[in-house]
Structures are given as C-alpha cells and as structure tokens.
Structure 1
Amino acid sequence: MIYQESLDFLKDLAENNNREWFTANKQRYEKARENVIDFTGKLLEIVRKANPGMDENLDAKKSVMRIYRDIRFRIDKTPYKNNFGVSLPTTGTKGGGVEYYLQIQPGNSFIGGGYWMPEAPHLKAIRQEIDYNATDLKKIIDDKEFVKLFGDFRAQEQLKTVPKGYEADNENIDLLKLKSFVAWHKISDKEITDPNSVQLVAGMCARILPLNVFLKNALA
C-alpha cells in the first residue's frame, strides 16, 4: 500500500515547491519514493502474469518516473512534480505507447491505460484497426462494467474535422476522430492507502487489458 506519510510528503511539496524546502526534506522524498517503488514492484508482479508480452527488463525502480520537472520551455517554473507517476509499458521499457499508468497524488490518484496521444504512424494504424474491427473495440468500451469504471470512452478529445481518408458519415466516426485511446479510474486517498490497494489497482489493470490488447494488435 501507499503510506499516508508518502501522501503527506506530496501535499507538503505542493505547498513548498522550491529547492530549499526539497533539500531540507530529501529524506522524506527518498522514503516516499521507496514506498512507491515497492508498491510498483508488487503491482508489476501481478500485471506481468496477465500480460506475458511485457519486457523482462522492465523493473519497478525504472518504472517510477522522475519527480524533477523539465522547466526549460515552461511558464510554470516550479522545479518538482506534485505527484509520483508510474509507467508500465506493455512493450519494451519506454513509456508513452500502449501502457498502464498510475498517478499517486493526494486527492488526485488514478490508474489508467491505453495509448495517450499516439504519434502519426501509430494513430494511422489504430484508426485503420478501428475501421476494420470496430465491433471488437465497441464490445470492450461499451461493456457495462467498463463504462461504470471508466466512463464514456468516446468523450475524450476529438479532432474537429474528419480524419484524412475517412468520410463524415462513417458509422464509427466518433471513434476515428479520437486523439487518444485511454481509460482511467480515479482512486481515493483512502483506497490507495488501504492494505489491499495493490490488488485494487491490479484489478483495474485487468479491466483495461482488453483495450491494451486491441491497441497492441493494431500496431503489430
């Protein structure tokens, strides 16, 4: 589970996002990070069993993203993120593709999966798969349990125009216009600090698995 102390550190960091405070509280950060790494290791052990294609070199420590922000081209110059991000790619060890993503943040933790903002070649391949096999995707995203957990899949950001190569009257145009293909579920502070939180998050990943399989097949 994630310890309350880890959430408390993140809450305090959000209120004191500067190098002086962070340096003075470096020990708290390291303890919280180790907590997240331990949690990730237990989660990865469960998820990997259901996703046999995951890279054997993927490990918990590398899956936990850096807390340091790249502020070179940002208006917001605060140096640290106010959350821990965990990326579990379904292929390879680099995040940003078809993956599971866990965010740990006081009042704003969530587990998600799918493919956020695919690059042009991957977006084209996914759209082609939807055009050919939309029925398979709709069985996943229109399932009552899926909708209950993750909401309306089609409500994600869409293109304002019809994507090149498709017609406006295509019966699946609402899916073809999507910019991202993700599902996510918010997790309360009480849930993430519960002794069974790893099992809870792993259960959500299992619900997202069919979506990830569909997307991976599109890119195969």
Structure 2
Amino acid sequence: MTEPLLLAPFGFLSQLRQHNDRDWFNAHKDQYLAVHQQVIKLADRVLEGLTIHDDLETPTGKKSLHRIYRDVRFSKDKTPYSTHFGGSFKRASAERRGGYYYHLEPGNTFVIGGFWSPSAEDLLQIRKQIQQDPEPLRDILNSNAFQSQFGELLGTQLKTSPRGFDPEDNAIELLRYKQFLIQHKFTDEEAMRTDFDQLIVEQFTHMRPFFDYMSEILTTDLNGESLL
C-alpha cells in the first residue's frame, strides 16, 4: 500500500515544534532533507494537476516551496525554523491575477488564495469596479459552491468607509476589504490520504470563479475596455 507523502514530513514537523533550535536541526539534517523531498514530490503532483486547469509561471514543485529557515531579524520570535511546509504557485501573464498558496502543518493544513496586499492602484480599481456593480462578486460569494468550500471572504477590513466612498453605499460591506482571501482547511486525516494532491488541486480549481472575476475587474476599466 502506498504511504501518504505527508506521513514522514508531519512526524518531522512535530519533533521540530519541540526542538526548534539549530543544534537539533543540524543533528537531524538528513531527516529534514528526506522529508523535504517528499514535500517536493507532493508539490510536483499538485503542479501537474493544476496546470490542467490553469496557466502557471511556477516551473516545478521545488520552485513553489518556501524556505524552512525563518528571517528573524525584525521578529520578536527568534525560533530559527518554520514549523510548517508551505509554498505558492504563480499564475501566468498579467491577465491572470491571484495566487495559490498551500500550508502543510499537523493540525493546521490549508490552502488559501487571493490578494494579500494589493497595490493602492489595484485596490482602488477593485473598489471602483465593485461599487459600480457588486452583484457579480456577491453571486460568487453567496453561491453554494463557494460557501461549501470556503465559507466566506477573508481579509483585513477598514472599520469605516474607504476615502472617497460613501459610507451609505449599498456595497460598503465589500468596499471595506483591504485584502481579498479565500481559504479551505483540511483535517489531518485528509492530509494523510494518498490522493491528498488531488484534494489540493480540487480546492484550487474551486477558486477559479473568484480569480476569474478579480482578474477581469483588474484588467478592464469601468467601461469594460482592456487596460493591458
């Protein structure tokens, strides 16, 4: 029977939580390198499945993976290593917006996608488009498919209305967002399945209606003319 790809990586991460220091990590470097290869194999499978449905710039699963070494220069938390494996896949071309991210950690495994820190120009463009016609986004967010997979739109929000927008605007609950994120969480049992790569691809595919909508409003003006 095929062993789940995350069985050994999750075991390593559980140990790393208890021994997050350089001496322990260096003593177990061979173990890390072995589980790192298994995570790369999982990422390669996800990439293979995802490219059936979307065009990506990320060339390999290895290139998608983030470093386990933390940058602690400006952090109060000085532990040197992340206690999860994570990575991202970038969509290809200026016409395709949004990014696919995965986070693999015992008890806290999820995929998330969207727009973490849109530029001021992009954020204004998003808000103007939503203000003009909020119904397409509402239709996506209120659909059974979206709510069953992602629940609700996530991201930091203003407590008041954005500058230049009416506090009484009928789309104000959407205009307050500064980030636009959607997330799906997995149980450890799901992460231990031998077809877990397919579960990730399935959730990334479910993100497409949201991504396609956001891509359209970011690449066209209020008259529907291309900005590219």
TM over 0.5: yes
CA contact (8 A) 1:91 1:98 kept: no
Unaligned regions of 5+ residues in structure 1, if any? none
Matches within 5 A, 1:79-118: 79-91=80-92, 98-118=98-118
Q: Does 1:189 align with 2:188?
A: yes
Equivalent position amino acid for 2:54 in 1: N
State percent identity of aligned pairs: 33
Q: Is the 8 A contact 1:156 1:178 kept in 2?
A: yes
Give the secondary-structure state (helix, strand or coil) at the position aligned to 2:106. Answer: coil
Aligned partners of 2:132 and 2:120: how far apart in 1? 18
Runs of at least 5 residues in structure 2 that lack an aligned partner in the other structure: 220-228
Deviation at 1:157, TM superposition (A): 2.5
Q: TM-score, normalised by structure 1?
A: 0.91
What TM-score do you get using the length of structure 2 for normalisation? Answer: 0.88
Mapped pair 1:12 → 2:11: no
The one-letter amino acid of 1:89's match is: K
Give the distance between the partners of 1:128 and 1:90, measured in 2 at CA: 24
Give the aligned residue type for 2:86.
G
Q: Give distance in 1, aligned partners of 2:105 and 2:144.
A: 28
Query: Is 1:33 aligned to residue 36 of structure 2?
Result: yes
**What is the RMSD computed on CA atoms of the aligned residues?**
1.6
Alignment check: 8 A CA contact 1:87 1:100 kept = yes
Aligned residues: 213
Letter matched to residue 191 of structure 2 = I
Equivalent residue for 2:26, pick from 11, 23, 33: 23
CA separation in 2, counterparts of 1:41 and 1:136? 34
Deviation at 1:29, TM superposition (A): 1.1
In the other structure, the counterpart of 2:138 is 138
| 1-structure distance, mates of 2:168, 2:92 | 35
Counterpart CA distance in 2 for 1:178 and 1:35 is: 37
How far did residue 168 of structure 1 move?
0.8
| In structure 2, C-alpha distance between the alignment counterparts of 1:124 and 1:51, rounded to whole Å | 27
- 1:213 aligns with 212
Deviation at 1:145, TM superposition (A): 2.3
**Which one has a larger percent helix, Structure 1 or Structure 2?**
1
- Counterpart in the other structure of 1:149: 149
Which whole-Å CA distance do the structure 2 matches of 1:112 and 1:133 have between them? Answer: 26
Q: In 2, are the aligned partners of 1:159 and 1:179 still within 8 Å (CA)?
A: yes
Moved more, 43-52 or 78-87: 43-52
Q: Output the amino acid matched with 1:51.
A: D
